[in-house]
Amino acid sequence: MNPFSVAVTGKGGTGKTTVSSLLVRSLVECGRTPVLAVDADPNANFHEALGVQPGETLGSMREEAFTRSIPPGMSRTQYIRLRFRQVLSEQEGYDILTMGRPEGSGCYCFANDLLQASVRLLEKDYRFLIIDNEAGMEHISRGTIGIPDLLLIVTTPGVRGIRTAARIHELAQSLGLQSVPTGLVFNRYKEEKTDMIPGLPRPLAWIPEDPSIEDADVQGRPVAGIGHSSPAMVAARALSKKIIDCAEKRQ
């Protein structure tokens, strides 16, 4: 299986995780399973948006366990694959892999390495990867998640959000991702527009302001559980169909 990977990035607070969770739900509802949801943000909340109980994270794994605790008769690669399988939270139609924060005051180097290795080892078991990145382009610039098949830059309609989206797009180009299809996702938008914005890719989706998302957030319910006909859900389904089209064209 050759998975189609979608990296979701953007400025903090623009709704990357909301968009990612709605995409996972849409792909599952379309029968494009299995999907791997990757929470690549150390401040993990992808599981909350999906309504999944948090489990073990990659950040909680200790480096020495991969050198000293390998069972007899098992190679290091086999042990890594086994541990990654244990970390996965398996759901109906999708699994979620969470990076999380390292224990103690250590750096993120080992957690980043584990994320890179786990994505590489697990991805071929899935049809789609939805990767919810931390703000900015760190994982892409480090090559942690590899080169995605589609880059989505999420922004809100404010000037600062659009400027940040332009900077992220410029950085992506400087990192050699000119050949990677890139789309802009306007989130919490009141009115859809079709004009091109200088310095930014063509908008792929306009996800409107949706009271059901705010209600879910206030009441602590998963965002991905909003009504089937909610405006944001309808827009997310339209975006997922474009993603499916991109995947089919690539094949």
Position 103 scores a pLDDT of 56
Q: Exposed, middle or buried: residue 113 (CB in 10 Å: 0-12, 13-18, 19+)?
A: middle
Provide the 10 A C-beta neighbour count for residue 14: 24
- The helix (run of H) or strand (run of E) holding residue 161 is helix 159-174
Token pair 């694959």 is found at: 81
Domains of the chain: residue spans and CATH: 4-250 (3.40.50.300)
Question: Which of 5-9, 54-58, 104-108, 225-229 is the least confident region?
Answer: 104-108
pTM: 0.88
Tens digit of each residue's pLDDT (9 = 90 or more) over 136-190: 666 566 666 678 999 999 998 878 888 888 888 888 888 777 888 999 999 998 8
Token pair 């949801």 is found at: 37
